[in-house]
Structure 1
Amino acid sequence: MAHAALPTAEPPGPPAAGPSGLALRRLALAAPGDAAGLTSQWRTVNGLRTHVRRSAERDQQGPPVLLVHGLAVSHRYLTPLAVALADTHPVYAPDLPGFGLSARPPNAYDPRQHAEHLAALLAAYGLPPVCVLGHSFGAEVAAALAARHPETVRAVVLAGPTSDPRARSRWGQVRRFLLDTTREARWQAPILLRDVIDARPPRVWATLSHSIHNRIEDDLRRIAAPTLVLTGSRDPLVPAAWRARAAELVPDARTAAVPDAAHNVATTAPWQVAEALRALLDTTIPDEPTNR
């Protein structure tokens, strides 16, 4: 298992002076309107109208990337990462059932139910195997998808995967989350507030219960695709020991940390995360042209 600390400087590609927090916030809250080459689509999957924020069709040569959000949020906070990836990969960032602009099922889904929904969504789009990046609770969903539908997954990025067995309780996760809020960029707050309002606190609480009862370890052992376990170096929800342990459980995994980033690494360090994803694909699987 290899480990790398990603550079603090932005890699080649993004503007020398990255977009401001205000610009990123406006971009994240733009849906369903078009913005920065991203557009909104809806697919009815298993009877649920599902919102997908996706990149415009162009001559991207990399495989499709599926971005899976966490338990209280939506596609919105993953928008900076979607933009960072869109030049080289078709990007799909769905709102999981009950979150964002997607329909709400009567009960909150657990990771396996979300994974089944995503497998059906990928089939509805007719996509080839994707690189799935799941963040936080979304990493639990991504692991379940890779374990149960390996034919749909080409590579896996588990960004800030929950939940560390040493804090696998409601209070354990809430305590770490509160610590994380002191380390995050403040411009994210309106985005996260909008997401919680859309999901509604009871669904957020029920999803947290599903997370702490989910043994992600069982799915990690079954992942056959090349995998990267990535966190921010200052992530209190996913400390270095849990990052390393999660990677050890996957047959073919490596780890990486983004210096100075906290839990929402996909939002606050999108260029570094995008480059880490591309490096995973470049070093494990030859590219196959894709344009969907």
Structure 2
Amino acid sequence: MPAMRALLAQLEQRCGWRSLTVDGHGCAQEWRWLDTQADGPATILLPGAVGDGAMFVRTLLALGERMRLIAVTYPALSDPVQLADGLAAVVAHLGLPPGRVAGSSFSAYWLQFYGLRHPQNVTSLVLGNGFVDGTDLAAHPMFERQFVESISAQDLHAQWLARVRATPNAPLQRLQEIMLAERQSPVNLQARFLGVVRSQICPPLPLPDTAITVLDCDDDPLIAPQVRERLRRQYPGARHISLPSGGHYPHVLNPRAYEALLAQPA
């Protein structure tokens, strides 16, 4: 994995990790982020269940010198309200004006609650490869609710790492392996999986349709066609973008299309 490690090292040398302890809803949790600190409006990037903010390593390196990107690692929380309020605390700490936030998979789910609770912070939400509630992924054996709630954090982490290591060697596989083997704790991974399987539909957002983009990929192996359509129906007036390729991680597997989307004005 030397090439991927080199990219991650280059990113972290250029940006550096910053952190904030957020004390909300009765618990203190650390939030961390990478900030390219370029001029102009900021776009916040949120990873899915696997990995930290550096899952966007290619995006940050490709666009970070000409636009401000802030890739956030969120703590071991499963509740979308806690996550939404924690992100709002980070935004306040950074003194950011209203801006664009792009979520992937699980974070695309709880990002809807950020728009619900903190609409004053939002000019644009990008819901990438997301879902409406936990029933959308229940058919996948690794996201079956009883399984996730009964397995230990260590065993869940070990099983998911084994699945990643069994896939063909490729940039996404190498990135996920580094994340799981070295950077993401079992407790953090389990919290995100619990957030997926326990997720419930978000109430209507107090945002204009033009502020929402629903992004999906035709070849997503996790988000089935009917799940993609259900999220589109949830936001019928939103901008709907379907990429022909990109799998569940278009920022890794179809970076040009993903970067082109972010490069557009929010």
TM-score band by shorter chain is 0.7 to 0.9
1:244 matched to 2:229? The reply is yes
Given that residues 45 and 69 in structure 2 are in contact (C-alpha distance below 8 angstroms), is that contact kept between their aligned partners in structure 1? yes
SS of residue in 1 equivalent to 2:87: helix
Following the alignment from structure 1 to structure 2, what is the Cα–Cα distance between the partners of residues 26 and 109?
32
1:51 matched to 2:36? The reply is no
Deviation per CA, 1:65-102, whole angstroms, max 9, x where unpaired?
0001112211121121223332443111111114xxxx
2:155 corresponds to which residue?
none
User: Which of 116, 119, 122 is matched with 2:85 structurally?
Assistant: 116
Matches within 5 A, 1:1-292: 23-30=3-10, 33-35=12-14, 38-46=15-23, 47-57=28-38, 60-61=39-40, 63-98=41-76, 108-162=77-131, 165-168=135-138, 171=141, 173=143, 186-197=170-181, 198-215=183-200, 217-219=201-203, 221-222=204-205, 224-225=207-208, 226-250=211-235, 252-279=237-264, 281=266
Structure 2 letter corresponding to 1:34: Q
Displacement of 1:273 in angstroms is 1.1
Deviation per CA, 1:107-164, whole angstroms, max 9, x where unpaired?
x432221111100000000100120000011111211111111011110111111357
Bigger helix fraction: 2
SS of residue in 2 equivalent to 1:218: coil
For the aligned residue pairs, the C-alpha RMSD in angstroms reads 3.0
Displacement of 1:44 in angstroms is 3.1
Aligned length: 242
Structure 2 letter corresponding to 1:56: Q
Given that residues 134 and 198 in structure 2 are in contact (C-alpha distance below 8 angstroms), is that contact kept between their aligned partners in structure 1? no
1:12 corresponds to which residue?
none
Return closer, same or farther for 1:185/1:269 CA change in 2, 3 Å cut-off.
farther
TM-score (ref. length: structure 1): 0.71
SS of residue in 2 equivalent to 1:67: strand
Identity of aligned residues (%): 22
Return closer, same or farther for 1:264/1:206 CA change in 2, 3 Å cut-off.
same
Return closer, same or farther for 1:88/1:72 CA change in 2, 3 Å cut-off.
same
Following the alignment from structure 1 to structure 2, what is the Cα–Cα distance between the partners of residues 150 and 207?
23
SS of residue in 1 equivalent to 2:192: helix
SS of residue in 2 equivalent to 1:34: helix
1:8 corresponds to which residue?
none
Can you give the 5+ residue segments of structure 1 that lack an aligned partner in the other structure? 1-20, 99-107, 282-292
Can you give the 5+ residue segments of structure 2 that lack an aligned partner in the other structure? 145-159
TM-score (ref. length: structure 2): 0.78
Given that residues 22 and 29 in structure 2 are in contact (C-alpha distance below 8 angstroms), is that contact kept between their aligned partners in structure 1? yes
Return closer, same or farther for 1:263/1:148 CA change in 2, 3 Å cut-off.
same
Structure 2 letter corresponding to 1:270: P
SS of residue in 1 equivalent to 2:50: coil
